[in-house]
Amino acid sequence: MSSTAPSTALPAQGARAYRHQPPSLYVVPSFYDWLVGASADLAAPAVRAPGAAAAAREAEIARLLTLEARLLDQGTLAQEAYVRWLALFAEECVYWIPASAPAADPRQAVTLEFHDRRRLLDRVARLGTGFAFSQVPASRTARQYSGLEVWSSPDRTDEWRARCSFLLAESREGHGRMLAGWNGFVLRATPEGLRIVLKQVNLIDCDQPQGNNSFFL
């Protein structure tokens, strides 16, 4: 597996056609079962020891997540960056913001956000229309990931898990605020390189009323 950052080139047929392709057929009971298990593993209190993943793999994942954060910050001002951000995800993926700590089974509990790939594509397309009025004007964001832990999945040899703390500063219409918490990621080797299967955003105040989080966290 190459240790270079994954390609984020737009699909050949263009973003407009691409966003309507995938069905939501993979979010089935067995997928939810896997998701709940992965969530529990990400939230486990143990700090992962050095060497929990090969150093080269950990460095590759660190580069991917650095790119992921940068594209999100650029995406609030340039929709193409959001398209390239989504290209970092596997075809069968989930973006999940729980409304409880620890995260509850999304089949049985309210979530702040829960998107499969088709919903992510629709949301990226909507933000690119200029008519997503919750983002007019667009937020300006700067985020920082720290304390990265990486370890091998207990379920698969081609899968890794990662956890990091985050701070996210937002400025919009002259008002600033901070969001904080930790991100959990599941990453999987594909023919195209490492791809994100799960991004779970765990806000420290997830059980409190939220502001206008209409951009991607």
User: Of 89, 98, 88, 120, whose CA–CA distance to 36 is shortest?
Assistant: 98
Instruction: Kindly tell me if the per-residue pLDDT of 18 is higher than 90.
Output: no
What percentage of the chain reaches a pLDDT higher than 70? 86
User: Of 86, 10, 38, whose CA–CA distance to 185 is shortest?
Assistant: 38
Do 191 and 176 contact (CB within 8 A), yes or no? no
State how beta strands 89-98 and 111-116 pair: antiparallel
Residues β-bridged to residue 177: 170
Give 195: exposed, middle or buried? Use CB within 10 Å, 0-12, 13-18, 19+.
buried
User: Of 145, 140, 139, 199, whose CA–CA distance to 167 is shortest?
Assistant: 145
Greater confidence, 11 or 181?
A: 181
What percentage of the chain reaches a pLDDT higher than 90? 61
Instruction: Kindly tell me if the per-residue pLDDT of 133 is higher than 60.
Output: yes
Instruction: Kindly tell me if the per-residue pLDDT of 10 is higher than 70.
Output: no
Determine which of 51-55, 85-89, 123-127, 136-140 has the lowest per-residue pLDDT on average.
51-55
Q: Supply the pTM of this predicted model.
A: 0.85
Structure tokens at 10: 């737009």
Instruction: Kindly tell me if the per-residue pLDDT of 179 is higher than 50.
Output: yes
Quick one: how far is CA 182 from the chain centroid? 11
d(CA 215, CA 129): 14
User: Of 212, 187, 209, whose CA–CA distance to 197 is shortest?
Assistant: 187
Do 87 and 190 contact (CB within 8 A), yes or no? no
Instruction: Kindly tell me if the per-residue pLDDT of 88 is higher than 60.
Output: yes
pLDDT, averaged across the chain: 86
Determine which of 105-109, 148-152, 163-167, 207-211 has the lowest per-residue pLDDT on average.
207-211
Greater confidence, 203 or 1?
A: 203
Tell me yes or no: is domain 26-203 CATH 3.10.450.50.
yes
Instruction: Kindly tell me if the per-residue pLDDT of 178 is higher than 90.
Output: yes
Do 65 and 148 contact (CB within 8 A), yes or no? yes
Q: What are the residue ranges spanned by the domains of the chain?
A: 26-203
Residues β-bridged to residue 181: 166, 203
